[in-house]
């Protein structure tokens, strides 16, 4: 047992490997309880290295034999300690044979080779390959792979690995084999194999160059009626990357495989993407509009990795955002282009920013805050974060904002021209952007090295005599762990000015040519003033249009200014933003009131009138109206408070929703009627937008919790012909006192018992219902369908409660925290990665009132003091308590 603290790995300690691996040949004899793996690798000394040792990594492996150039290595010829295998050697060329024995059926970590529902799968990113064999398991070591799979013919009729199928055949004795070869050199984290009883939908398409490619989506039997959307999304992704970036699929065969037990969303293994079923399976009966959108995005994401991640990969794991931030940006752009309309793009942008604010801003302000390119980590799995992914995508987006679409494309082209086939750093990407455009992006580097969400405070002065309008921007950035003082960032601030009619003014920024409506100010100093000339009247500024930088922008808008922007801004993002600012203001005031005993909450007619205009504005897309009528979440409000009071926030938000429901009831009923989508279900953006607005109306009306509302929800629940409408109605019932609530929940379960992804929804909506307390969650855990071992199921109930039901989770008696500690500890023994995610739920504990703080601290300590805790969870709770 390891009792010492696990070591911290530093970026500054990077050294190149002493050996390159050129080729890898592997043979797998697949047996759930004892899989034999024979690996032969040829290695070549790295001439630049002085290290006289070949270093390989291995975890939880039974080592059978090592042969060096054909000769068995005795135990004295190497050192094996703490998962590191050291072989002293300086030979130029080496052939190494390693035989290992694995127990995939006992692998509950879902890293390396594991069994799910009787089939074999792998997950090797980041450091899972070392659970298959000893290997220089680091992304800068790239080799070509040839993989032989052998297994029982009946149990494992399908045998898949990366690249091309070279040969297959019978072995007699009921077993068969398949030989795969991947012509592209790759790091070990992109290795994959799949074996089992699976079926596929396939299609052959012609690529832009005229080459043909075979596309397959593999699923368990019985799920072939749920693969069409993933296939369509894959084809659209291929087309989009050809069009937008001139990047073509480089393989003859591209496979997607769905698995029900998976730690994350999906994995971009070369030619053999492995997906959580949640991001593959869809039909109208089981998937919501949001699911359809997520599937499109994740299929795109993994496909786009083929260039941004696989052809050009990361030198080390500190560069993770090089591939993840860039690939998220690419999938965001892909999804936006798939909607196609300007307003659809804006809604997608708003959605993405909502995720950033809901999850990344709190991360960046908490104990796990880290730069987009971290300087250190204990467990790399803990750094697959919203900062690496979503903030990383914002950083990439800023290049496009600064350089324009064409300039960004030039940078991408140069990046591939320079680095195809290489393992590189974030700095190489920045250099390509800079060199391709002749732009100095030196200061831009701070987006990679400094953590924390910058704060930009704007002030304005209008000079009526000289007709000038000056905008002063002042930036700062809060301290984050290990980074006390920050240097100024290079921040693109897109700005427009509205005249009194609500139209965009022509903008004449001093020293620059006149532009039509939006100008990107480049804030580089701590404080800078930008002067606009020929400004005929005092404008209302529209700041940070389209959310041009991941910052908190503050400006002293009056309520009237915000209502004006809500009604007129040509920038749809800022129209939405103005409404959010107004609503957040009300919510913060109501929360303050709710904290005083005996205080009475009061309504605000001005806000409801502004929202009424938006709700009824037929010129606006239903999808936009829906997103605009959605109040800032409890988490977003919490982040804006000095001391978080979850119950007061909940009470305030509920009150505001109820008063809006009262004030706008007739309008909501009208919207509900006007946005029906009769006929066959289609997940297209226009139909999805209508359903979203209709279901938003239903959720507001349901806040009134009266008989009429109950009937409405019950009717929709009973009559729904698609999951979007059904689950929206069931959610409304679950949050109500409707007499039919329990029966509706029971009926839903009965109807969808056989669909694990729908059962997840059933757990999740109950976990987040406002009356669900810890006792109710414990009771749900007793349900036969619940299991801690399946990550999706654990997330659907436990994570949904701890992260999605703040007022109950933060119950004043601390019962939520005790429950959390228990579940983190139980999960840690099964699956450290999933446990460490749950461990993040108390990240912000220092922001709560002292009475809650002490209970959270006690729960964190209880976890920290648990024996045999994984380094994953140890790192998270350790940093929280630090
Ligand atoms: N590269 C994968 C994806 O984005 C994520 C895999 C991470 N897996 C893990 N076990 N940490 O797209
Ligand atoms: Zn990714």
Report the separation in Å between the CA atom of 300 and the middle of ligand 2, taken as the mean of its atom positions.
10
- Measured torsion, CA atoms of residues 714, 719, 724, 726, in degrees rounded to the nearest 10: 40
The torsion angles phi and psi of 848, rounded to 5 degrees, stand at -100, 165
CA angle 513, 515, 516 (to 5 degrees): 160
Report the separation in Å between the CA atom of 258 and the middle of ligand 1, taken as the mean of its atom positions.
15
- Measured torsion, CA atoms of residues 591, 592, 595, 596, in degrees rounded to the nearest 10: -140
Closest to 815 in 3D by CA, of 774, 857, 769: 774
Over residues 182-205, mean pLDDT: 98
d(CA 648, CA 645): 5
Which ligand 1 atom sits nearest the alpha carbon of residue 298? 12
pLDDT band at residue 640 using 50, 70 and 90 as cut-offs: very high
Give the closest residue (by CA) to ligand 1 atom 7: 125
Report the separation in Å between the CA atom of 652 and the middle of ligand 2, taken as the mean of its atom positions.
38
Q: Which two tokens stand for residue 412?
A: 């991408």
Of the residues 99, 268, 296, 302, only one is catalytic, namely 302
User: Is the dihedral angle over the CA atoms 136, 142, 144, 147 positive or is it negative?
Assistant: positive
Over residues 441-446, mean pLDDT: 98
pLDDT band at residue 768 using 50, 70 and 90 as cut-offs: very high
CA angle 317, 266, 447 (to 5 degrees): 40
pLDDT of 165 reads 98
CB 182 within 8 A of CB 250: no
Give the closest residue (by CA) to ligand 1 atom 3: 267
pLDDT of 3 reads 52
Q: Is 263 in the pocket of ligand 1 (CB under 6 A)?
A: yes
Closest to 71 in 3D by CA, of 42, 95, 104: 95
Over residues 102-126, mean pLDDT: 98
Over residues 306-331, mean pLDDT: 99
Query: Nearest ligand, CA of residue 325?
Result: 2
Other CB atoms within 10 A of residue 313 CB: 24
The torsion angles phi and psi of 536, rounded to 5 degrees, stand at -75, -25
The torsion angles phi and psi of 510, rounded to 5 degrees, stand at -50, 125
Report the separation in Å between the CA atom of 381 and the middle of ligand 1, taken as the mean of its atom positions.
9
Site to probe by mutation for ligand 1, drawn from 384, 388, 390 as the one with most ligand atoms within 8 Å of Cβ, is 384
Query: Nearest ligand, CA of residue 384?
Result: 1
Give the closest residue (by CA) to ligand 1 atom 1: 267
Could you write out the DSSP letters of every residue in 504-542?
Answer: BPPB-BTTS--BSS-EEEEE-SSEEEEEE-S--SPPEEE
Query: Nearest ligand, CA of residue 322?
Result: 2
Q: What is the pLDDT of residues 797-849, one digit of tens each?
A: 999 999 999 999 999 999 999 999 999 999 999 999 999 999 999 999 999 99
Q: Is 444 in the pocket of ligand 1 (CB under 6 A)?
A: no
Cis peptide before 126 (omega within 30 of 0): yes
Sheet containing 53-57, strands listed edge to edge, beginning at the edge strand earlier in sequence:
53-57, 84-88, 79-81
Give the closest residue (by CA) to ligand 1 atom 8: 125
CB 512 within 8 A of CB 519: yes
Q: Is 326 in the pocket of ligand 1 (CB under 6 A)?
A: no
Q: What is the pLDDT of residues 353-412, one digit of tens each?
A: 999 999 999 999 999 999 999 999 999 999 999 999 999 999 999 999 999 999 999 999
pLDDT band at residue 70 using 50, 70 and 90 as cut-offs: very high
d(CA 861, CA 461): 52
Closest to 798 in 3D by CA, of 834, 770, 832, 843: 834
Q: What is the pLDDT of residues 595-632, one digit of tens each?
A: 998 889 999 899 999 999 999 999 999 999 999 999 99
**ipTM above threshold 0.95:** yes
d(CA 256, CA 607): 48
Confidence check: pLDDT of 4 > 80 = no
Which ligand 1 atom sits nearest the alpha carbon of residue 381? 11
Write out the H or E segment, with its range, that includes residue 634: helix 634-639
Query: Nearest ligand, CA of residue 383?
Result: 1
Largest Cα–Cα distance of the chain, in whole Å?
95
Q: Is 220 in the pocket of ligand 1 (CB under 6 A)?
A: no
Q: Which two tokens stand for residue 212?
A: 């043909």
pLDDT of 490 reads 99
Instruction: Name the DSSP letter for residue 680.
Output: S
pLDDT of 721 reads 97
Q: Which two tokens stand for residue 504?
A: 């965009």
Over residues 473-502, mean pLDDT: 98
CA angle 841, 846, 847 (to 5 degrees): 90
d(CA 841, CA 838): 6
Q: Is 19 left (phi over 0), alpha (psi -120 to 50) or beta?
A: beta
Q: What percent of the chain is predicted at pLDDT more than 70?
A: 100
DSSP bridge pairs for 381: none
Over residues 505-518, mean pLDDT: 94
State yes or no: is 302 an active-site residue: yes
pLDDT of 2 reads 46
Q: What is the pLDDT of residues 229-283, one digit of tens each?
A: 999 999 999 999 999 999 999 999 999 999 999 999 999 999 999 999 999 999 9
Write out the H or E segment, with its range, that includes residue 2: none
d(CA 756, CA 758): 5
Confidence check: pLDDT of 1 > 50 = no
Which ligand 1 atom sits nearest the alpha carbon of residue 324? 4
Do strands 313-314 and 423-424 pair parallel, antiparallel, or not at all (unpaired)? Answer: parallel
Over residues 710-734, mean pLDDT: 98
Give the closest residue (by CA) to ligand 1 atom 11: 381
Over residues 705-731, mean pLDDT: 98
pTM above 0.95, yes or no: yes
d(CA 97, CA 66): 6
Confidence check: pLDDT of 648 > 70 = yes
The torsion angles phi and psi of 783, rounded to 5 degrees, stand at -60, 140
Give the closest residue (by CA) to ligand 1 atom 5: 267
Closest to 581 in 3D by CA, of 542, 534, 631: 631
What average pLDDT does the chain have? 98
Cα–Cα distances (Å) from 145 to 112, 179, 184, 188, 539, in that order, read 17, 11, 8, 9, 63
Report the separation in Å between the CA atom of 403 and the middle of ligand 1, taken as the mean of its atom positions.
29
> In angstroms, how far is the first alpha carbon of the chain from the final one?
24
d(CA 28, CA 55): 23
d(CA 389, CA 326): 8
């Amino acid at each position: 047992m390891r009792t010492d603290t696990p070591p911290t790995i530093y970026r500054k300690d990077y050294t190149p490997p002493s050996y390159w691996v050129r080729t890898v040949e592997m043979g797998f004899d697949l047996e759930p309880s004892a899989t034999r793996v024979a690996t032969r690798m040829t290695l070549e000394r790295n001439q630049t290295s002085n290290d006289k040792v070949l270093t390989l990594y291995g975890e939880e492996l039974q080592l059978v034999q090592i042969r060096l150039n054909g000769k068995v290595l005795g135990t004295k010829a190497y050192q094996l300690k703490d998962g590191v295998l050291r072989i002293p050697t300086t030979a130029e060329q080496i052939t190494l044979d390693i035989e290992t024995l694995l127990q995939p059926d006992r692998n509950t970590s879902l890293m390396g080779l594991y069994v799910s529902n009787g089939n074999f799968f792998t997950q090797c990113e980041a450091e899972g390959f070392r659970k298959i064999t000893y290997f220089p398991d680091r992304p800068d070591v790239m080799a070509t792979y040839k993989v032989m799979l052998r297994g029982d013919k009946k149990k494992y009729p399908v045998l898949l690995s990366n690249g091309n199928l070279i040969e297959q055949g019978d072995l007699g004795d009921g077993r068969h084999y398949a030989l795969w070869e991947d012509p592209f050199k790759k790091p070990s984290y992109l290795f994959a194999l799949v074996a089992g009883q699976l079926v596929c939908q396939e299609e052959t398409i012609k690529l832009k160059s005229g080459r043909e490619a075979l596309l397959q989506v593999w699923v368990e039997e019985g799920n072939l009626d749920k693969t069409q959307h993933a296939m369509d999304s894959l084809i659209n992704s291929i087309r989009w990357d050809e069009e937008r970036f001139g990047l073509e699929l480089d393989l003859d065969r591209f496979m997607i495989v769905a698995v029900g037990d998976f730690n994350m969303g999906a994995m971009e293994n070369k030619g053999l993407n492995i997906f959580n079923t949640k991001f593959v399976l869809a039909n109208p009966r089981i998937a919501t509009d949001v699911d359809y959108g997520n599937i499109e995005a994740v299929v795109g994401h993994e496909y786009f990795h083929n260039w941004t991640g696989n052809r050009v990969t990361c030198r080390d794991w500190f560069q993770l955002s090089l591939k993840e931030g860039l690939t998220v940006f690419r999938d965001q752009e892909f999804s936006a282009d798939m909607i196609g309309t300007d307003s659809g793009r804006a809604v997608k942008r708003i959605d993405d920013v909502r995720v950033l604010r809901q999850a990344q801003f709190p991360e960046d302000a908490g104990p796990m805050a880290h730069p987009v390119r971290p300087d250190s980590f204990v467990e790399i799995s803990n750094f697959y974060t919203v900062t690496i992914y979503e903030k990383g995508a914002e950083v990439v987006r800023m290049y496009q904002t600064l350089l324009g679409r064409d300039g960004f494309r030039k940078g991408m082209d140069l990046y591939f021209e320079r680095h195809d086939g290489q393992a590189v750093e974030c700095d190489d990407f920045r250099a390509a952007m800079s060199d391709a455009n002749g732009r100095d992006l030196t200061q831009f580097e701070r987006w990679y090295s400094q953590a924390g969400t910058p704060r930009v405070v704007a002030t304005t002065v209008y000079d009526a005599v000289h007709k000038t309008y000056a905008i002063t921007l002042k930036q700062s950035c809060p301290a984050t762990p290990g980074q006390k003082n920050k240097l100024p960032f290079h921040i693109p601030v897109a700005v427009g000015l509205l005249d009194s009619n609500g139209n965009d003014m022509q903008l004449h920024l001093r020293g620059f040519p006149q532009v039509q409506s939006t100008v990107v100010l480049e804030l580089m100093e701590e404080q800078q003033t930008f002067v606009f000339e020929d400004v005929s009247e005092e404008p209302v500024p529209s700041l940070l249009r389209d959310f041009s930088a991941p910052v908190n922008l503050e400006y002293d808008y009056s309520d009237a200014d915000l209502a004006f922007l809500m009604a007129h801004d040509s920038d749809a993002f800022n129209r939405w933003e103005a409404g959010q600012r107004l609503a957040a203001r009300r919510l913060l005031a109501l929360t303050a009131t709710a904290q005083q005993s005996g205080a009475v909450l009061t309504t605000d007619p001005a806000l409801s009138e502004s929202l009424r205009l938006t709700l009824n504005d037929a010129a606006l897309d239903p999808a936009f109206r829906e997103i605009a009528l959605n109040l800032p979440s409890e988490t977003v409000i919490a982040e804006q408070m000095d001391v978080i009071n979850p119950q007061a926030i909940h009470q305030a938000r509920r009150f505001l929703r109820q008063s809006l429901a009262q004030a706008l009831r007739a309008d909501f009923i009208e919207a509900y009627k006007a946005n029906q989508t009769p006929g066959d279900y289609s997940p297209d953006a226009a139909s999805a937008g209508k359903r979203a607005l209709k279901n938003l109306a239903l959720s507001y009306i349901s806040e009134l919790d009266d008989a009429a509302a109950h009937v409405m929800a019950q009717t929709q629940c009973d009559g729904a012909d698609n999951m979007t409408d059904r689950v929206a109605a069931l959610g409304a019932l679950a949050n109500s006192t409707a007499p039919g609530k329990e029966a509706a929940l029971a009926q839903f379960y009965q109807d969808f018992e056989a669909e694990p992804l729908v059962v997840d929804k059933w757990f999740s909506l109950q976990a987040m219902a406002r009356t669900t307390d810890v006792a109710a969650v414990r009771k749900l855990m007793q349900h036969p369908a619940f299991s801690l071992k399946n990550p999706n199921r654990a997330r659907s109930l436990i994570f949904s409660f701890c992260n999605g039901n703040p007022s109950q989770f933060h119950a004043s008696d601390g019962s939520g925290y005790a429950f959390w500690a228990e579940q983190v500890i139980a999960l840690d023994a099964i699956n450290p990665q999933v446990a460490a995610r749950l461990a993040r739920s108390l990240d912000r504990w220092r922001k709560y009132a002292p009475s809650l703080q002490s209970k959270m601290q006690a729960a964190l300590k209880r976890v920290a003091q648990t024996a045999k805790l994984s380094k994953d969870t140890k790192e998270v709770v350790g940093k929280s308590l630090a």
